[in-house]
C-alpha cells in the first residue's frame, strides 16, 4: 500500500483567499495544529512577497518540529535565496519553485517562448540545489499546457535535481478523467519519473478539486497539495479533510493511505475558520455542521439501530464526539424518545411521551430548529398537567397603536369552559385581567419575567411569574413561540399551584 504525502498550503495558497490574511502568531497557531495533524509538508508562505511573510515562514521553520517546512519562490535567484534563508532553521526544509508552462501564460504573462522557460526552470532548480536536496518544481497551469512539452520540462527538472514535480490545475479547468489521463501520460512518457514524486495541486473553480486529486492518486500521484476547509484563491483548493477521509474510507479501492492523524481534523477546521473568519458551510463534506446530523425519521431510526446504515464515516475518527440527531418536523418518535432518555426523562410513561411528541411535532412546524431546552420545556408543561383546576382553551388578543389592547379568552375552570373579553394597559395586562375574572382569584402579580430560551426570531419564549395570595407565594412558568400565550400559560400554572396542584413556595423564598 502506498503512502500519499500531504502537502498543506493553508498558510500560503489558503491565505490568498480574500479576507483570509493571517499575522505571524496566527500562522504559528495553525502550523502547530498542522503538525499535530501530522501533515508531511507545511507550505508556510511566499517569503519574497513581504517582510511579514518571510518572518512567518522563518518562525514556522524555527519553531514547528517534526514536519517539512516549505516556502514558495519564482524561478529567479532572489526568490530562491529568500526561501533558503527562511527555511534554514527547519528540521527539514523545502524550496518550492514555480513557473508557468502553458502557452497562454508564456504569451501573455511571461512573454517568453518554451525554450526560454525550460532553460529558466533548469537553472532555478540547480541554483536551489546548493541549499537543499528537497526541491519541488511546479509547472503552473499544467493542465492547459502541451502534454509533450510538460513531459519534457518534467524530465529536465528531475535531471537538474527536483525531487518533487507538481502538476497544478491552477485555474480549476480540468475534469477527473482527463486529469487522470494526464498523470498517467506523464508516468509513462517521462523516463526518469521514478526519480521524483509526482504531486497534484487542484483548484475548485468547477467543483472538481477533490475528484481531480483522487483521480490523480489512482494514476500514480504520490503527493496531494491541499488546504484545511478547502480555502484558497477564487473557489478554493482541494480540501485536505475530503481527500484524507476518501482514502481512509475507500482504502481497498485506492490501495493508498496517508499519515494524517484524522482525530485532529475537526480541531484544525475550527481553528482555521476562527482565525480567518471564513465560516464552513453547514453541508460541507466531513466537517460541516450537517455532515453527521440526521433529521429524517427513517434515517434517525436506522442510525439508532446501527450507525453504518446511514453513516459511512465514524465522527470520532475526525474528532467529533458523536453524530447528531437533529429533531425537527421530519423526525420520528424513536429519535424523540431517545432524546428524552438522554435528557433524563426515563420515567415517562407512553401516554406522557405520546402527548409530548404531539406537541413537539406542532412546535416543529413553527420553528426551524428545535433545541434540547425546547424539549425540556415541552415535557415540563406536559407532566404538570392532569390535576389542574384551570386550563387554557383558546386565546385571542387585539392590540396596536390606535386601539385599547383587548383579550378574548376561553378557560376551563374546574371542568367548565368559560369565556370573557377584557381590556388592559397592554396585551399581557388584558390577558391577566381576563384570567382573574374567570377564575375569581385575588392573587397579586409580584414578578413577571420574559426570556428567550433559544436564539432567533422564532425562539421559544419562556415566561416566569410570581403570584401572592393569602401570604402564599408561588412561581409559575411556561414557554411558547408566542410570548402572549406563554404569559397566559405561566399565570395559569401559578394559579394551579396556589390551588394546591403544585409546590407552595413560602413567602420571601
What's the confidence (pLDDT) of residue 487?
Answer: 93
Our measurement of the distance from residue 176's CA atom to the centroid of its chain's CA atoms, rounded to an integer in Å, reads 26
What's the confidence (pLDDT) of residue 503?
Answer: 34
Distance (Å, whole) CA 79 – CA 244: 32
What is the full per-residue pLDDT of the chain (509 aa) written as tens digits?
999 999 999 999 998 887 777 889 999 999 999 999 999 999 999 999 999 999 999 999 999 999 999 999 999 999 999 999 999 999 999 999 999 999 999 999 999 999 999 999 999 999 999 999 999 999 999 999 999 999 999 999 999 999 999 999 999 999 999 999 999 999 999 999 999 999 999 999 999 999 999 999 999 999 999 999 999 999 999 999 999 999 999 999 999 999 999 999 989 998 998 888 888 887 888 887 766 665 556 666 665 677 677 566 777 788 876 555 556 666 777 777 777 776 666 656 788 778 878 877 777 776 666 666 567 666 655 655 555 788 899 999 999 988 899 999 999 988 889 999 999 999 999 999 999 999 988 888 988 988 776 666 666 788 888 888 877 777 778 888 889 999 999 999 888 877 753 333 333 32
- In a 10 Å sphere around its CB, with 0-12 CB exposed, 13-18 middle and 19+ buried, how is residue 305 labelled? exposed
CA angle, residues 31, 35, 37, in degrees to nearest 5 = 110
Q: Is it true that 2-276 and 384-506 share their CATH fold?
A: no
The long-range contacts involving 52-56, CB below 8 angstroms and separated by at least 24 positions, are 52/23, 52/24, 54/82, 54/85, 54/86, 55/24, 56/11, 56/22, 56/24, 56/27, 56/28
What's the confidence (pLDDT) of residue 508?
Answer: 33
What's the confidence (pLDDT) of residue 501?
Answer: 35
Query: Which residues, other chains included, contact 303 with Cβ-Cβ below 8 Å and sequence gap of 6+?
Result: 294, 309, 310, 311, 323, 325
Within 9-65, strands assigned E span: 41-45
Backbone φ and ψ of 196, nearest 5°: -145, 160
What's the confidence (pLDDT) of residue 311?
Answer: 66
Strands 444-452 and 41-45, sheet pairing? unpaired
The C-alpha cell at 283 is 453541508
Beta-carbon-side half-sphere exposure of residue 27 (alpha carbons within 13 Å) = 30
CATH of 384-506, one of 3.30.160.270, 3.30.750.24, 2.40.50.100, 3.90.1300.10: 3.30.160.270
- Asked if residue 378 lies in contact with residue 489, where contact means CB atoms within 8 angstroms, the answer is no
What's the confidence (pLDDT) of residue 369?
Answer: 63
What's the confidence (pLDDT) of residue 362?
Answer: 78
Task: Give the domain ranges of the chain.
Answer: 2-276, 293-382, 384-506
Q: Which residues face 229 on adjacent strands?
A: none
Domain 2-276: assigned CATH number: 3.20.20.70
Amino acid at each position: 500500500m502506498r503512502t500519499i504525502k500531504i502537502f498543506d498550503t493553508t498558510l500560503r495558497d489558503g491565505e490568498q483567499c480574500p479576507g483570509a490574511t493571517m499575522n505571524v502568531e496566527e500562522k504559528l497557531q495553525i502550523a502547530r495544529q498542522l503538525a499535530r495533524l501530522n501533515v508531511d509538508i507545511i507550505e508556510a508562505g511566499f517569503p519574497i512577497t513581504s517582510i511579514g511573510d518571510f518572518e512567518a515562514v522563518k518562525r514556522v521553520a524555527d519553531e514547528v518540529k517534526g514536519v517539512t517546512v516549505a516556502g514558495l519562490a519564482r524561478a529567479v535567484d532572489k526568490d530562491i535565496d529568500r526561501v533558503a534563508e527562511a527555511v534554514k532553521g527547519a528540521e527539514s526544509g523545502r524550496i518550492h519553485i514555480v513557473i508557468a508552462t502553458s502557452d497562454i501564460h508564456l504569451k501573455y504573462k511571461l512573454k517568453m517562448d518554451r525554450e526560454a522557460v525550460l532553460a529558466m526552470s533548469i537553472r532555478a532548480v540547480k541554483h536551489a540545489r546548493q541549499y537543499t536536496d528537497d526541491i519541488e518544481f511546479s509547472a503552473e497551469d499544467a493542465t492547459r499546457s502541451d502534454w509533450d512539452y510538460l513531459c519534457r520540462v518534467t524530465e529536465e527538472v528531475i535531471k537538474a535535481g527536483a525531487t518533487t514535480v507538481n502538476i497544478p490545475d491552477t485555474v480549476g479547468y480540468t475534469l477527473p478523467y482527463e486529469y487522470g489521463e494526464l498523470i498517467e501520460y506523464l508516468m509513462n512518457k517521462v523516463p526518469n519519473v521514478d526519480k521524483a514524486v509526482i504531486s497534484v495541486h487542484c483548484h475548485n473553480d468547477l467543483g472538481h478539486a477533490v475528484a481531480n486529486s483522487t483521480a490523480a492518486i489512482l494514476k500514480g500521484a504520490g503527493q496531494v497539495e491541499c488546504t484545511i476547509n478547502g480555502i484558497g484563491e477564487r473557489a478554493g483548493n482541494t480540501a485536505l479533510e475530503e481527500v484524507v477521509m476518501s482514502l481512509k474510507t475507500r482504502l481497498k479501492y485506492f490501495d493508498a493511505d496517508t499519515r494524517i492523524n484524522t482525530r485532529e481534523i475537526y480541531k484544525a477546521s475550527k481553528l482555521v475558520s476562527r482565525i480567518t473568519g471564513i465560516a464552513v458551510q453547514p453541508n460541507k463534506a466531513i466537517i460541516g455542521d450537517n455532515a453527521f446530523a440526521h433529521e429524517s425519521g427513517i434515517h434517525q431510526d436506522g442510525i439508532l439501530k446501527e450507525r453504518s446504515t446511514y453513516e459511512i464515516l465514524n465522527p470520532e475518527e475526525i474528532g467529533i464526539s458523536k453524530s447528531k440527531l437533529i429533531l425537527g418536523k421530519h423526525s420520528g418518535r424513536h429519535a424523540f424518545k431517545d432524546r428524552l432518555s438522554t435528557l433524563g426523562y426515563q420515567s415517562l410513561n407512553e401516554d406522557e411521551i405520546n402527548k409530548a411528541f404531539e406537541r413537539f411535532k406542532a412546535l416543529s412546524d413553527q420553528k426551524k430548529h428545535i433545541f434540547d431546552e425546547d424539549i425540556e420545556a415541552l415535557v415540563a408543561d406536559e407532566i404538570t398537567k392532569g390535576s389542574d383546576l384551570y386550563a387554557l382553551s383558546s386565546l385571542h388578543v387585539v392590540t396596536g397603536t390606535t386601539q385599547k389592547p383587548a383579550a378574548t379568552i376561553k378557560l376551563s375552570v374546574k371542568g367548565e369552559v368559560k369565556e370573557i373579553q377584557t381590556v388592559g394597559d397592554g396585551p399581557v395586562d388584558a390577558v391577566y385581567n381576563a384570567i382573574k375574572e374567570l377564575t375569581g382569584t385575588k392573587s397579586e402579580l409580584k414578578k413577571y419575567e420574559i426570556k428567550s430560551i433559544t436564539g432567533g426570531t422564532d425562539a421559544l419564549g419562556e415566561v416566569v411569574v410570581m403570584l401572592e395570595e393569602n401570604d402564599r407565594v408561588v412561581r409559575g412558568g411556561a414557554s411558547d413561540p408566542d410570548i402572549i400565550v406563554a404569559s397566559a400559560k405561566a399565570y395559569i400554572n401559578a394559579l394551579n399551584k396556589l390551588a394546591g396542584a403544585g409546590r407552595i413556595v413560602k413567602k420571601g423564598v
